[in-house]
Chain A
Amino acid sequence: GAVVSQHPSWVICKSGTSVKIECRSLDFQATTMFWYRQFPKQSLMLMATSNEGSKATYEQGVEKDKFLINHASLTLSTLTVTSAHPEDSSFYICSARASGRGGYGYTFGSGTRLTVV
């Protein structure tokens, strides 16, 4: 159980365009999802916490108008990178925690490799 599906697994886009990444909890409901970004040879950096039915909470230094997060249902959160630029190229990973699960309840998606050209 506890599978998180992330789509797409990789995407290449032109500079100035927007890209949407989906994160779905397949067999559980997730009131909270988390979005991370990882640059090469670095650790995961938390970008924002996505709460179902409410606004996301962004970490310091993360532009909320550039990284739009929507958590419209208990099984889906989306991250939209708006007006992407080459410096936004990174590995984006989502995580979800099932309501009521124990401490091991954080499940991660397989990540999305974004390349902006």
Chain B
Amino acid sequence: DAKTTQPPSMDCAEGRAANLPCNHSTISGNEYVYWYRQIHSQGPQYIIHGLKNNETNEMASLIITEDRKSSTLILPHATLRDTAVYYCIVRPVLQGGSEKLVFGKGTKLTVNP
């Protein structure tokens, strides 16, 4: 079962920042927070991941609360092409490469012109 809770849908105006929340109150100390997104009828696309510290890359920023029970994905300047379902996933830090990603229901982000 997914260990995350996300709002089912959100809207954002084009050019504005999109802030997508995720609750993972049962996260363990050895679990990463991952974010993926899925544009309609395509495979999921990796966005960003983090363990404790905030992270930023060319796509987005990830803000993780100090207690690690929630996080926020920030798309700084949303475009129409960012319309997608965004998934927040927790995964244990284990070795071997066999650790599976379990998807929850995600947040349907709609970027409006």
Report which A residues bind B (CB closer than 8 A): 4, 6, 30-32, 34, 36, 43-46, 49, 51, 91, 93, 95, 97-99, 103-111, 113
In the complex, number of A-B residue pairs with CB atoms less than 8 Å apart = 61
- B43 engages A108 (CB within 8 Å): yes
From B34, B44, B97, A44 is in contact (CB under 8 Å) with: B44
What residues of chain B lie closer than 8 Å to A45, measured between beta carbons? Answer: 103
The residue from B38, B41, B43 contacting A109, defined by CB atoms under 8 A apart: B43
Do B49 and A43 have beta carbons less than 8 Å apart?
no
Q: List residues of chain A with CB within 8 A of the CB of B43.
A: 4, 6, 93, 95, 108-111
Find chain B residues with CB under 8 A from A113 CB: 41
Count how many chain B residues have C-beta atoms less than 8 Å from C-beta atoms of the other chain. Answer: 26
- Give the shortest distance, in Å, between B42 (CB) and chain A (any CB): 6
B99 to chain A minimum Cβ distance, whole angstroms, is 8
Contact between chains at B41 and A111 (CB < 8 Å): yes
How far is A30 from B97 in the complex, measured between Cα atoms in Å?
Answer: 9
User: Given A43-B87, A43-B106, A103-B32, are A95 and B46 neighbors across the interface (CB < 8 Å)?
Assistant: no
Q: Please give me the residue from chain B that is nearest to A31 by CB atom.
A: B97
A36 CA / B36 CA spacing, docked (Å)? 15
Cα-based distance from A6 to B93 in the complex (angstroms): 27
Choice from A6, A99, A104, A108 contacting B97 with Cβ under 8 Å = A99
Which residues of A sit under 8 angstroms from B102, Cβ to Cβ? 46
Closest 10 pairs (CB-CB, A-B): A108-B43, A44-B103, A32-B98, A43-B103, A108-B44, A103-B49, A32-B97, A110-B43, A97-B97, A111-B43
Task: Identify which of residues 73-113 in chain B touch chain A, using a CB-to-CB cut-off of 8 Å.
Answer: 85, 87, 91, 93, 96-98, 100-106
